A = this chain, B = another copy of it.
Amino acid sequence: MKISFVGAGNVAWHLAKAMDKQNQTIVEVYSRNIKNAARLCEKLYHTKATTNLDFTNSVADIFIIAVPDDCIEMVVNECQFPENSTVVHTSGTVPLHVLANIDNCKTGVFYPLQTFSKSKELDMKKIPICLEASDIITEKLLEKLAFKICENVCFYNSDDRKTLHLAAVFACNFTNHLLTLSKKILINEGLEFSLIKPLITETLEKALQIEPENSQTGPASRHDHKIIAQHLKMLAYSESLSTIYSAITESILDKNNGKR
């Protein structure tokens, strides 16, 4: 297949390299900043860097828009695509229908459920790729492309993708922030975050292995109200820490949390 990337950020970086490695032709990489596009092209077999959003004369069949979520609509409005090509975005939060105005093209979503950074290599094979397509032919095309780079391909509509994204905010963005807060609590008292890193690693491994609902420990899970009161006293200096502590503690104490 012949593929072009609109965007040269973290997602484009990993997808383009994985596809290139599997002998797919990456035709162009667009970026507003030619240097960013060129840096990615250096890693690919034979790809042109461009700052031009008019792809009318491109030989690519598939255009992958990999720009920040809130830029997708704007970029789409500025792009010109060749007739009968397929245009997809890579976002978990943006519905398929934002691509509906593209004339004479098939559309879809090609959403890799992972967090990417350029500096960290990843085994793409293990990453779930969630697909959605405007029609059954595009479905088959995207499925074929996804299976070239990974083993775990699934179809979800825009609503399911929203749920996946919300769940990921709790499981990833919020857990990351709790680590930041934990580090601040330690540093405030002159202690080092590295001390609790082995504990964090083991806790997460265990949660994923035996499922988190079976691995809950701590004062709230054993209803130790004495320690909870002590902790809230220690956190009295920060309204934000106290609020988070209380909210999560209440939720652990309440067995019905999160149920519809």
A169 contacts across to B, CB distance below 8 A: 218-219, 231, 245
Chain B CB within 8 A of A176 CB: yes
Contact between A203 and B185, CB atoms less than 8 A apart? no
> Per a CB cutoff under 8 Å, which of B172, B201, B216, B238 touches A173?
B216
> Which chain A residues in 147-168 approach chain B with CB under 8 Å?
154, 156, 159-160, 162-164, 166-168
> Per a CB cutoff under 8 Å, which of B206, B222, B231 touches A115?
B206
* Complex copy number for this chain: 2
Contact between A184 and B258, CB atoms less than 8 A apart? yes
Contact between B178 and A216, CB atoms less than 8 A apart? no
Assuming A115-B199, A171-B196, what are 11 further A-B pairs, CB within 8 angstroms? A117-B215, A128-B195, A164-B191, A172-B218, A175-B179, A176-B203, A176-B212, A177-B251, A178-B178, A179-B208, A241-B251
Q: How many residues of A contact B (CB 8 A)?
A: 94
Contact between B244 and A248, CB atoms less than 8 A apart? yes
Q: Which of A29-37, A76-84, A119-127 contacts B (4 or more CB under 8 A)?
A: A119-127
A248 to B178: give the CA distance in the assembly, Å: 8
> Per a CB cutoff under 8 Å, which of B182, B206, B224 touches A117?
B206
Chain B CB within 8 A of A22 CB: no
Contact between B208 and A182, CB atoms less than 8 A apart? no
> Which chain A residues in 218-244 approach chain B with CB under 8 Å?
218-222, 224, 226-227, 230-231, 234-235, 237-238, 240-241, 243-244
Contact between A172 and B203, CB atoms less than 8 A apart? yes
- Known contacts being A220-B173, A238-B258, A240-B254, is A113 close to B198, with CB within 8 Å? yes
